[in-house]
Every structure is written in C-alpha cells, then in structure tokens.
Amino acid sequence: AQSVTQLGSHVSVSEGALVLLRCNYSSSVPPYLFWYVQYPNQGLQLLLKYTSAATLVKGINGFEAEFKKSETSFHLTKPSAHMSDAAEYFCAVTYLSGTYKYIFGTGTRLKVLA
C-alpha cells in the first residue's frame, strides 16, 4: 500500500538557518507529491507540488523540494528560516488513478528560534 513517512514530528531551527523537512513515500507507480503548510487556525495551504516535470520544484515563501526517485524522497528545504515559517508541514502523495485522494504523512511541526 502507498504511504508517506515524515521523519521528525517536531523540528527546531534557528532564525536564518537552513530548514530541511524530510518526506519519503512508498509507491509502485509514479507519484504526484505535495507539500502543504498549516498556520494556526487556518486551512492547509499548498506550498508546492511535483507533477513529473522538473525534479526540483520551487514553491511559495522561498521553499523548494527535490524529487529523488532513487531515494523515494521529496524533502522540503528553505535556505534561511524566518520566524513566520513556524507552522505544521504536511507531505502528501496521490496517483493518476482512482479518485486522486491524497495520502498524507503525520506532519512536522517547525519551530523557529530567535
């Protein structure tokens, strides 16, 4: 069965430091991959998505992610963390079949330290 694993339910970084949030998926078919962010009291907002075009995907707010098929990974990075990046981040996968329902990881809560 397809699944998504996010390593680290909580990640802390200093302001200005590199942000790296890990996501691995298991799949026997080509995936479509997403990163969503949830700020307090808000819905999930799409950061970026991989749709089999470029393997390096740039998103909003300076985030990017690289699809690595050999590693079945889609890690999210940002060169320099900002206080406003503190939120919960979700990796999700779907496939070109069925209802396109998303399969999510358990989420990573990012804390940015001043």
Q: Where do contacts with another protein occur on this chain (CB under 8 A)?
A: 4, 9, 32, 36, 41-46, 49, 51-52, 90, 92, 94-96, 98-107
How many angstroms separate the Cα of 45 from the Cα of each of 27, 59, 72?
24, 11, 23
Report the residue number, 81 or 91, with the smaller CB distance to another protein.
Answer: 91
Helix/strand/coil for 42: coil
- Nearest distance, CB of residue 46 and another protein, angstroms: 6
Report the residue number, 32 or 86, with the smaller CB distance to another protein.
Answer: 32
- Nearest distance, CB of residue 86 and another protein, angstroms: 18
Q: Give the helix/strand (H/E) hosting 14.
A: strand 10-14
Q: Residue 76: which of 95, 93, 94, 56 has the closest Cα?
A: 56
Q: At a CB cut-off of 8 Å and minimum separation 6, what does 83 contact? A: 15, 112, 114
Type of residue found at 20: L
- Nearest distance, CB of residue 78 and another protein, angstroms: 21
Report the residue number, 43 or 83, with the smaller CB distance to another protein.
Answer: 43
Report the residue number, 52 or 80, with the smaller CB distance to another protein.
Answer: 52
